[in-house]
Amino acid sequence: MMNKILALAEKYKDFTANNLSELIRAKSLSSEEKDVAVVLKKQMVDAGFDEVFIDGLGNVIGRIGNGKKILAFDGHIDTVDMGNSANWTFDPLGGEIKDGFVHGRGTVDQKGGPAAFITSGRILKEIGFDNDATIYYVGSVMEEDCDGLCWKYIIEEDKIVPQTVISTEPTNLNLYRGHRGRMEIEISFKGISSHGSAPERGKNAVYMASHVCLDIEKLNERLGFDEFLGKGSVTISEFVSGSPSLCAVADYAKIHLDRRLTWGETKESAMAEVNKLIDGIDAKAEVLYYHGKAYTGLNYGMEKYYPTWKIEESHHAVQTGVKAYEQLFAKKPVIDKWTFSTNGVTINGIYGIPVIGFGPGNEVLAHAPNEKVPVEDLKVASAFYAKYALLF
Q: Is 301 part of a structural domain of the chain?
A: no
Strand-pair category, 175-176 with 335-336:
parallel
Q: Report whether 142 contacts 153 (CB < 8 A).
A: no
Predicted confidence at residue 139, as pLDDT, reads 98
273 and 369, same structural domain? Answer: no
Residue 302 lies in a domain: no
pLDDT computed for residue 2 by the predictor: 79
Looking at the structure, tell me whether residues 174 and 207 fall in a common domain.
no
Question: In the chain, where does DSSP find H-type helix?
Answer: 2-11, 13-25, 34-46, 112-127, 149-156, 205-221, 267-277, 316-329, 344-347, 375-391
For the entire predicted model, the pTM comes to: 0.96
Tell me, what amino acid is at 204? N
- Domain range for 26 is 2-179+308-391
- Smallest CA-to-CA distance from 175 within 337, 344, 310, 347 is with 337
Q: What angle do CA 148, 150, 154 make, to 5 degrees?
A: 115
Of the residues 239, 259, 293, which one is the last residue of a structural domain? 293
> Three-state SS across 331-382?
CCCCEECCCCCCCHHHHCCCCCCCEEECCCCCHHHCCCCCCEEEHHHHHHHH
CA distance 353 to 373: 29
- Give the per-residue pLDDT at 31: 98
The number of angstroms, rounded, from the C-alpha of 256 to the middle of its chain's C-alpha atoms is 21
In a domain, 300, yes or no: no
Q: Are residues 171 and 186 in the same domain?
A: no
pLDDT in tens, 154-188: 999 999 999 999 999 999 999 999 999 999 999 99
Tell me, yes or no, whether 15 and 109 share the same domain.
yes
Q: Classify residue 11: in a domain, yes or no.
A: yes
Q: Do 167 and 202 share a structural domain?
A: no
Residue 299 lies in a domain: no
Same domain, 338 and 366: yes
Are 156 and 205 part of one and the same domain?
no
User: Is residue 200 among the annotated active site residues?
Assistant: no
pLDDT at 227 (0 to 100):
97
C-alpha distances (whole Å) from 177 to each of 43, 74, 150, 336 are 29, 15, 20, 6
Do 143 and 265 lie in a common domain? no
Q: Is 143 a catalytic residue?
A: yes
51 and 158 co-located in one domain: yes
Please report the pLDDT score of residue 1 as a whole number: 77
Final residue in a domain of this structure, among 293, 323, 350: 293
In total, how many domains does the chain have?
2
Residues of the chain with pLDDT under 50: none
Residue 212 maps to a domain = yes
Residue 208's CATH number: 3.30.70.360
* Residue where a domain terminates, one of 250, 270, 293: 293
Are 82 and 205 members of one domain? no
Catalytic residue among 33, 74, 78, 251: 78
CA quadruple 342, 343, 348, 350: dihedral, nearest 10: 110
Query: Please, are residues 385 and 62 in contact by the beta-carbon 8 Å criterion?
Result: no
Question: CATH number for the domain including 26?
Answer: 3.40.630.10
* Same structural domain, 320 and 171: yes
- One domain for residues 172 and 189: no
3-state secondary structure of 391: helix
Residue 261 lies in a domain: yes
Tally of CB atoms within 10 A around 127? 14
The CB density around residue 106, as the number of other CB atoms within 10 Å, is 28
- Write down the catalytic residue from 33, 74, 109, 143: 143
